[in-house]
Amino acid sequence: MLTDIALDAMGSDKAPEPEIRGAIAACTHLPVRVHLVGPQDVLRRALSAHLNGQQLPIEIVHASEHIAMDEKAAHAVRAKKDSSMRVGLKLVREKRVAGFFTAGNTGAGMATAKMVLGALPGVDRPALAIVVPTLSGSPTILLDVGANVDCKPQNLEQFAVMGEMYARSVLKIARPRVGILSVGEEEGKGNDLTREAWALLKQLPINFIGNVEGRDIYNGSCDVIVCDGFVGNVALKTSEGLTRLVREMLKASLTTTVTAQVGALLSRKAFNAFKRRLDPSEYGGAPLLGVRGVCIIGHGSSNDRAVMNGIRVAAEFAQAGINDGIEREFSQRPVTETDQPSVDPNLPLQ
Amino acid sequence: MLTDIALDAMGSDKAPEPEIRGAIAACTHLPVRVHLVGPQDVLRRALSAHLNGQQLPIEIVHASEHIAMDEKAAHAVRAKKDSSMRVGLKLVREKRVAGFFTAGNTGAGMATAKMVLGALPGVDRPALAIVVPTLSGSPTILLDVGANVDCKPQNLEQFAVMGEMYARSVLKIARPRVGILSVGEEEGKGNDLTREAWALLKQLPINFIGNVEGRDIYNGSCDVIVCDGFVGNVALKTSEGLTRLVREMLKASLTTTVTAQVGALLSRKAFNAFKRRLDPSEYGGAPLLGVRGVCIIGHGSSNDRAVMNGIRVAAEFAQAGINDGIEREFSQRPVTETDQPSVDPNLPLQ
């Protein structure tokens, strides 16, 4: 049986090309049916040009508008009632598809998902999670990386529950180690938020290992790392900036001398292997955890491979039944009261 | 005329070897006199073995104790009254030397400097700054990266003044661009701290460019980036972790195939050039800004080159008269009232 996934065909920087090629790749390699959401005339033409007569389970769902990468999310979400994001997420709400993927404006994607799908019972603030490669080979989940600034300890507690569930269900880690991102490993270290969150997390029926530090994001010593959205976003963006610096420096170093140029040519294959391991397109985008439905948000620079992986992650997320698990988890324990969510739908992640 | 610099001979992971070789290199290449602080018998023997009869302006100052890398800073600072850090910083206070460098326990170094030297008038909380390489080729200063969690907006304002002064005086940037590390560029973006700090920074007579993001740390679009010590420490440690991951991945990729091995051999020179650019040992350690004296703190893994560069930075810092500049700056404007400093001397940076 095929899993139905809605795909925002107008999301990425080069849309709809990567989306159409990604949908074709996904339907070729994975047991999925893709619902391409966007302007039907444009999509129909482009799709038939690429399919070239081939029969694949791809359907087109019309949406007359789309939200640009540099649009202010709060305004766009309200104003564009027929955006490809909104139409795609409505398919999720109406259970016509099992999940949704977009490589578009992150702030708009989160805001639209919260508006169209709503939060799961017990979740005050949905969180955006990223899955990063580590030294140990096993990936680490970091959340929240973009949705919530100025969190309460209870938010970090909820992030821990949701992240742990994702690690178990999708990443198949039997007993995920959960830590709080802080500036020292001992219990007393950190700021008011992390100290109060510590007290809450150690009560949870999870494998809580205490505080971890920034370097632990990439060394594989912890499977799920929670932090407020401000700190998580800084860590994510700092990593993006440093990756770019490293790439440019290597390129510059390698073209300096003729010997180095020959060396670079010979080791290009190895470089490509390395790049693939660090490449976000292999990781298929960031899941938005805590909304009533499956929503995965990819990078604006997504290529067809990244789109295919985003579709794959959406399907795996849906099949793992994570949202049922999160709901069950929160219904079984006393809900800690927090204030009203104060999400910032303008927050640009990319 | 030689500049006198005190060097904690017992700081680094492999002390005193890197310190002794670094002191010799510094005295050979720079107009400095180095005061090696540590157990005199040990140092005398090691120094004479390395000097091999050569005459250099290196003096030994006895200190019977030293603080280990894994010791709790608060306790060690109180208990070890004759530590090499304390003795070295006393030389600064007594104006027998112009500055101090240690590659030891960062938390202990900061706490000892604050205790022995005290804060400059107008500075509520000294800040640890790092200087990082960027895409543009011009370095960026990020502060605070370790001393102060839970900052007030006024602390960020003071960090901006101190960082700007350092950029002008030591890095010779004529009109440094100063930004606040946040999660979006517009004024309203960020958390309560960054929004309130924005209002204060735009009143300052500096080239304030508003919010910057994590990726801007490494792209050279901003010269001085301020943030609270929690966020700065996460950014710094995340960078360290990612750099290590990249190094290991590259190594693994390059030894996978024989062709790649040949390539790696040929491009080794280029790699080394690249490594040097990213290498913290080239940047000579992190200045602690806002104390009454010059204190530079290096990484525990410092080699002799890093120690020499630390000594160089201490001498340049002293000659630039930054502390006089900071004092003048704060005396010329109304001091914004803040609460008592609540520094965390336990904070481990390395």
- Asked if A263 lies within 8 A of B268 by C-beta distance, the reply is yes
Q: State the smallest CA–CA distance between residue B272 and chain A in angstroms.
A: 9
The domain over range A130-283 is classified in CATH as 3.40.718.10: yes
Confidence (pLDDT) at B345: 42
Whether the pLDDT of residue A337 is over 80: the answer is: no
Whole-number Cα distances in Å, A64 to A26, A70, A200, A276: 24, 19, 46, 35
Does B220 reach chain A within 8 Å, measured CB to CB?
A: no
Interface-testing mutation among A69, A71, A130, A183, with chain B (most B C-beta atoms within 10 A): A183
Nearest to B72 by CA among B103, B107, B101, B115: B107
- For A332, other C-beta atoms within 10 Å of its C-beta total 9
How many whole angstroms separate alpha carbon A322 and alpha carbon B107? Answer: 42
More confident residue, B240 or A119: A119
Query: Which is it for the CA torsion A87, A74, A113, B180, positive or negative?
Result: positive
Phi, psi of A139 (to 5 degrees): -70, 160
Interface-testing mutation among B106, B180, B212, B253, with chain A (most A C-beta atoms within 10 A): B253
For A311-337, what is the mean pLDDT? 84
More confident residue, A87 or A326: A87
Confidence (pLDDT) at A90: 98
Burial of B106 (0-12, 13-18, 19+ CB in 10 A): buried
More confident residue, A28 or A335: A28
Whole-number Cα distances in Å, A333 to A178, A202, A227, A327, A328: 19, 15, 22, 11, 9
Q: Is the peptide bond before A16 cis (omega within 30 degrees of 0)?
A: yes
Q: Are strands B127-132 and B286-289 parallel, antiparallel or unpaired?
A: antiparallel
Confidence (pLDDT) at B340: 45
How many whole angstroms separate alpha carbon A170 and alpha carbon A321? Answer: 9
For B85-109, what is the mean pLDDT? 96
> What is the separation of C-alpha A39 from the centre of its chain, rounded to a whole number of angstroms?
25
Nearest chain A residue to B259 by CA distance is A266
Query: Tokens at residue A29, please?
Result: 């390699």
Confidence (pLDDT) at A184: 81
How many whole angstroms separate alpha carbon B85 and alpha carbon A132? Answer: 39
Burial pattern A306-317, b for ≥16 Cβ within 10 A else e, equals bbbbbbbbbbbb
* Top CATH class, B129-283: alpha beta
Pick the CATH number of B1-126+290-350 from 2.30.42.10, 3.30.310.220, 3.40.50.10950, 3.40.50.1100: 3.40.50.10950
Whether the pLDDT of residue B323 is over 70: the answer is: yes
CB contact set of B288 (below 8 Å; sequence gap of 6+):
B109, B110, B113, B126, B127, B128, B129, B147, B295, B296, B297
Chain A hits for B235, CB-CB cut-off 8 Å, are: 214, 234-235, 238
Confidence (pLDDT) at A94: 97
For A151-162, what is the mean pLDDT? 96
Confidence (pLDDT) at B255: 64
Judged by DSSP in three states, A145 sits in coil
Confidence (pLDDT) at B276: 59
Query: Tokens at residue B210, please?
Result: 């508003």
| Range list for CATH 3.40.718.10 in chain A | 130-283
Residues A94-118: tens digit of each pLDDT: 999 999 999 999 889 999 999 999 9
More confident residue, A205 or B350: A205
Type of residue numbered A332: Q
How many whole angstroms separate alpha carbon A46 and alpha carbon A291? Answer: 32
More confident residue, A191 or B264: A191
DSSP state of A120: P
Chain A hits for B247, CB-CB cut-off 8 Å, are: none
How many whole angstroms separate alpha carbon B128 and alpha carbon B159? Answer: 9
CB contact set of A2 (below 8 Å; sequence gap of 6+):
A31, A32, A33, A57
More confident residue, B152 or A342: B152
**The tokens 């104390």 sit on which residue?**
B291
CB contact set of A62 (below 8 Å; sequence gap of 6+):
A37, A38, A39, A40, A87
Does A135 reach chain B within 8 Å, measured CB to CB?
A: yes
User: Residue A49: enclosing H or E segment and its boundaries?
Assistant: helix A40-51
Whether the pLDDT of residue A347 is over 60: the answer is: no
Phi, psi of A289 (to 5 degrees): -95, 140
Interface-testing mutation among B72, B149, B244, B275, with chain A (most A C-beta atoms within 10 A): B149
Percent of chain B having pLDDT more than 90?
Answer: 65
Judged by DSSP in three states, B132 sits in strand
CA angle B18, B89, B51 (to 5 degrees): 30
- Asked if A242 lies within 8 A of B242 by C-beta distance, the reply is yes
Does A138 reach chain B within 8 Å, measured CB to CB?
A: no
Judged by DSSP in three states, A59 sits in strand
Strand-pairing partners, residue B102, are B297
Does A290 reach chain B within 8 Å, measured CB to CB?
A: no
| Range list for CATH 3.40.50.10950 in chain A | 1-126+290-350
Does A136 reach chain B within 8 Å, measured CB to CB?
A: no
Confidence (pLDDT) at B349: 41
Chain A hits for B135, CB-CB cut-off 8 Å, are: 244-245, 248
Nearest to A157 by CA among A212, A204, A217, A223: A204
Judged by DSSP in three states, B83 sits in strand
Burial of B257 (0-12, 13-18, 19+ CB in 10 A): middle
| Range list for CATH 3.40.718.10 in chain B | 129-283
More confident residue, A329 or B90: B90
Does A301 reach chain B within 8 Å, measured CB to CB?
A: no
Do B263 and A268 contact (CB within 8 A), yes or no? yes
Confidence (pLDDT) at A343: 44
CB contact set of B98 (below 8 Å; sequence gap of 6+):
B3, B4, B5, B92, B294, B314, B315, B318, B319
Confidence (pLDDT) at B188: 78
Query: Tokens at residue A311, please?
Result: 């579709």
